[in-house]
Amino acid sequence: MLGVKGYFVSILLVLSLAGCDADGKKNVPEVVSKKLAHIKVEQVLVPAGKFIRGSNKEDDVAMRQQYGFPMPLFVDEHPQKTIYLDAFRIDTYEVTNKQFKQYILQTRRMLPYAWMSNGYAITEDQLQMLDVDKLRRMASDVFAVDRDTRTMDKPALVAAMLEQQHAQDNFPVTGVNWFAARDFCAWRGARLPSEAEWEKAARGPDGLEYPWGNHWDPKITNTGDDGEWDEGMAPVGAYPDNKSPYGAYDMSGNVWEWTADWYAPYEGSTYESKAFGKTNRVIRGGGGGVGHYAISYFFRAATRQFSEPEMESEDVGFRCVSDI
């Protein structure tokens, strides 16, 4: 017999699959006008010009041995190079649950898995369909309502669960694979940033080590070990000093972010990796999921990591860019 959470997840799976084609796949949405998207978006300008990409740091063998990292560090960032980019605008914040929910409601796309387990996807109408006993169990087991639900009536239970939902509105959406991130940006009339665009937006023209400067300070960013936030994530913009030279927040920490590019060597690089090629997409920025590996290396603006585009990771989100 399914538990409450399993029962809830199965319902949401049925609802989300209703928008699939015969193969269970989603069609890529056409690029639409931002006026149709009805999403409030803040973006900052990254002006045209040159910036310092990558680094010339050498592999840190001692660090690799200490933490058990299987791959060399820093060397996929070689060679450091000054390159030119045209102007673009990048989202001030990572795409939020609330923004992604508007997309889901309009397009009937697949729900992020995290929403199926934390209650974010269920509607008020669906809650009203359940009897009070199921609501009480759901409030405790799914929504984690921090009250004695045994004494709460149906209106109070529904109100408490909706309040829990709203509390998640401004957290970055995660559990979204590369294709879903790409499609959301296209729906909004935007696109995922190239790896170079992401790096310039994070570190500015002078090649800063971190968005805020060249000195590591774990208090400036969300490394995932702040007890104030569940699941290692914070609402976007919760760390006011974690701001890039252009005004983009959380480009270090909180969640990793998808970029448009395949993981490949930089031009002129001599480093070889089996991960290179049209297999993995680049993710940037560091996230709370690094756990006890929350060391400065992962939160640098030049650090490159990668993930298979089909992966729906709990600590990977994204932001979009717009051409000018």
- Tens-digit pLDDT profile for residues 118-163: 889 888 999 999 999 999 998 988 888 888 989 999 999 999 999 9
In sequence order, the 6+-apart residues with CB closer than 8 A to the CB of 25 are none
- Residue 184 counted as domain residue: yes
Q: What is the pLDDT, as a whole number, of residue 70?
A: 84
How many domains does one find in the chain? Answer: 1
Residue range of the domain that includes 51: 34-98+172-323
Residue 257: inside a domain: yes
- The 3-state DSSP class for residue 167 equals helix
CA distances from 277 to 10, 62, 115, 120, 249 (A): 36, 28, 32, 36, 30
pTM given for the model: 0.86
Residues 6+ apart with CB under 8 A from 182: 28, 191, 192, 258, 260
Is residue 136 domain-resident? no
Beta strand ranges found along the chain (DSSP E): 43-46, 49-53, 81-85, 88-91, 256-262, 281-284, 305-307, 316-317, 321-323
Residue 227 has pLDDT above 70, yes or no: no
**Per-residue model confidence as pLDDT tens digits over 76-116:** 999 999 999 999 999 999 999 999 999 998 998 888 988 88
- Give the whole-angstrom CA distance, residue 285 versus residue 298: 7
Tokens, residue 295: 């060391």
Residue 66 pLDDT level (bands cut at 50, 70, 90): confident
pLDDT in tens, 274-311: 999 999 999 999 987 665 566 899 999 999 999 999 99
What pLDDT sits at residue 131? 92
Please indicate, yes or no, if residue 52 is contained in any of the structural domains: yes
The model's pLDDT over 6-40, given as tens digits with 9 standing for 90+, comes to 555 555 455 444 444 433 344 433 333 333 345 67
- Would you say residue 116 lies in a domain? no
- Predicted confidence at residue 22, as pLDDT, reads 37
* Residue 269 included in any domain: yes
pLDDT of the residue at 38? 52
The verdict on residue 41 lying in a domain is yes
Cα–Cα distance between 142 and 279 in angstroms, integer?
35
Mean pLDDT (the chain, rounded): 87
Residue 156: predicted pLDDT: 95
Q: What is the CATH number of the domain that holds 279?
A: 3.90.1580.10
Residue 167 lies in a domain: no
